[in-house]
């Protein structure tokens, strides 16, 4: 349970830094932090409609990133994959009027996951065929996705009046059911279920074990385990992309019901922090996702009620990442994190 202690320390330190920073910048830190708390946990409504709603995409993306990470690959393109999923979900969602609800939702989510998968296929192919490190390629595609969204909402997917840069709302049947009386949607079930399924896969199956082995020792996995390390790594990335795309679909089907720019307030990067803080453990990621959801929900309240820019919360996230990172350094692995990350800068095929 040392991991838990580190996690708590990380968050505590992050909040402390925020406190000091706010005071230094001339804001009222106590007002800010209390607005943060109230915005996240102050009431049942705050908890479900703000915190949990924001937690869902973070949990999903965090899970996806942790799968990739376990396989020894780093997916920094979750933002782009999210948007790819959102675009597909919107397009499909607009066509599903009149379909039975379960079918419509299933089709929409499937399309979203597929789109996320397609979005990460290019970096995977570049890595396998040309040795391009996935860190750069996934990163660059984020920007392409952003431009694509902009293009879509001002072009093919623009709403009928052609005035606003957003799409028409998707069909009623394609929307995720809500918890009565709040804005919390069934996507939460997906997120938690995903965590449980991955937990089982990692802990009890050969597949999960192989993934872990490849992440911690790709060479030994190949030579002694006769595992195709490249293939496993590629598969981990593909799954990661699909889950991120799914997150985009859930965002459209459960929250926004339409596509517009800035649908994601940086989920792809926050998801990184979520995965790290959760120690790459699926249940840890779920809890960590809720925590970060709370942070972001609180940030909104902080801006509204105390006049502090919401982006300040990024500082907390950065501190959390750094502390989580430092936790991995002394022992060479919170869960072998250091060994995993060391393998990823592989030079391209060397001419010898």
CA–CA distance from 239 to each of 192, 210, 287 (Å)? 17, 15, 21
3-state secondary structure of 178: strand
- x/- binding map, residues 15-34, to other proteins, per CB under 8 A? ------x---xxx-------
183 C-beta neighbours (distance < 10 Å), count: 14
**What is the distance between the alpha carbons of residues 59 and 190, in angstroms, rounded to a whole number?**
10
Q: Which of 246, 273, 277, 286 binds other proteins (CB under 8 A)?
A: 273
By CB under 8 A, what part of segment 221-250 binds other proteins?
A: 221-227
Q: Which of 72, 217, 284, 289 binds other proteins (CB under 8 A)?
A: 217
Tokens (6 digits) for 280: 């790459």
Q: How far is the CB of 127 from other proteins (least distance, A)?
A: 10
Of 110 and 315, nearer to other proteins (C-beta) is: 315
Tell me the window of 52-60, 169-177, 234-242, 343-351 that interacts with other proteins (CB under 8 A): 343-351
Give the torsion through C-alpha atoms of 54, 55, 61, 66, to 10 deg.
Answer: 160
List Cβ neighbours of 5 (8 Å cut-off, separation of 6 or more).
none
List Cβ neighbours of 269 (8 Å cut-off, separation of 6 or more).
76, 78, 79
148 binds other proteins (CB under 8 A): yes
304 binds other proteins (CB under 8 A): no
325 binds other proteins (CB under 8 A): yes
Q: How far is the CB of 250 from other proteins (least distance, A)?
A: 23
| Contact indicator for 37, 43 with CB cutoff of 8 Å | no
Q: What sign for the dihedral angle of Cα 43, 47, 49, 54?
A: positive
| Contact indicator for 278, 66 with CB cutoff of 8 Å | yes
Q: How far is the CB of 306 from other proteins (least distance, A)?
A: 13
321 binds other proteins (CB under 8 A): yes
CA–CA distance from 338 to each of 8, 34, 57, 219 (Å)? 20, 36, 26, 16
Q: Which of 118, 121, 140, 186 binds other proteins (CB under 8 A)?
A: 140
Q: Which of 12, 205, 231, 304 binds other proteins (CB under 8 A)?
A: 205
Q: Which of 43, 164, 197, 207 binds other proteins (CB under 8 A)?
A: 207
Block residue for tokens 């675009």: 87
Tokens (6 digits) for 327: 């936790």
43 binds other proteins (CB under 8 A): no
List Cβ neighbours of 195 (8 Å cut-off, separation of 6 or more).
59, 63, 282, 283, 285, 286
Of 163 and 350, nearer to other proteins (C-beta) is: 350
Q: How far is the CB of 42 from other proteins (least distance, A)?
A: 23
By CB under 8 A, what part of segment 163-182 binds other proteins?
A: none
By CB under 8 A, what part of segment 105-134 binds other proteins?
A: 122, 126, 129-132
**What is the distance between the alpha carbons of residues 254 and 262, in angstroms, rounded to a whole number?**
16
Q: How far is the CB of 265 from other proteins (least distance, A)?
A: 11
By CB under 8 A, what part of segment 44-63 binds other proteins?
A: none
Q: How far is the CB of 228 from other proteins (least distance, A)?
A: 12
Q: Which of 59, 114, 213, 297 binds other proteins (CB under 8 A)?
A: 213
């Amino acid at each position: 349970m040392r991991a838990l202690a580190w996690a708590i320390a990380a968050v505590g330190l992050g909040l402390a830094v925020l406190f000091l920073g706010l005071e230094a910048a001339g804001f009222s830190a106590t007002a800010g932090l209390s607005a943060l708390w109230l915005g996240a946990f102050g009431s049942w409504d705050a908890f479900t409609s703000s915190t949990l709603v924001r937690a869902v995409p973070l949990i999903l993306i965090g899970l996806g990133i942790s799968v990739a990470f376990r396989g020894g690959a780093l997916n920094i393109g979750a933002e782009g994959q999210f948007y790819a999923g959102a675009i597909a979900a919107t397009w499909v969602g607009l066509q599903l009027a009149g379909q039975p609800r379960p079918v419509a939702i299933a089709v929409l989510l499937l399309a979203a996951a597929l789109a996320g998968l397609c979005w990460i296929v290019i970096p995977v192919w570049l890595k396998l065929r040309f040795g391009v490190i996935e860190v750069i390629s996934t990163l660059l595609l984020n920007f392409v996705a952003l431009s694509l969204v902009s293009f879509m909402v001002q072009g093919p997917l623009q709403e009928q009046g052609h005035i606003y840069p957003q799409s028409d709302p998707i069909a009623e049947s394609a929307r995720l059911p809500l918890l009565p009386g709040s804005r919390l949607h069934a996507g939460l079930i997906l997120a938690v279920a995903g965590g449980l399924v991955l937990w089982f896969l990692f802990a009890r199956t050969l597949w999960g074990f192989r993934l872990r082995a490849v992440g911690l020792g790709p060479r030994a996995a190949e030579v002694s385990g006769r595992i195709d390390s490249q293939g496993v790594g590629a598969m981990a990335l593909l799954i990661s992309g699909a889950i991120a795309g799914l997150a985009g679909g859930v965002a459209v089907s459960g929250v926004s019901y339409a596509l517009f720019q800035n649908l994601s307030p940086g989920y792809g990067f926050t998801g990184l922090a979520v995965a790290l803080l959760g120690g790459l453990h699926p249940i840890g990621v779920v809890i960590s996702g809720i925590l970060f959801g709370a942070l972001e929900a609180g940030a909104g309240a902080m801006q509204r009620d105390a006049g502090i820019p919401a982006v300040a919360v990024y500082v907390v996230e950065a501190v959390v990442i750094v502390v989580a990172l430092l936790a991995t350094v002394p022992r060479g692995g919170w869960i072998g994190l250091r060994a995993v990350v060391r393998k990823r800068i592989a030079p391209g095929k060397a001419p010898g």
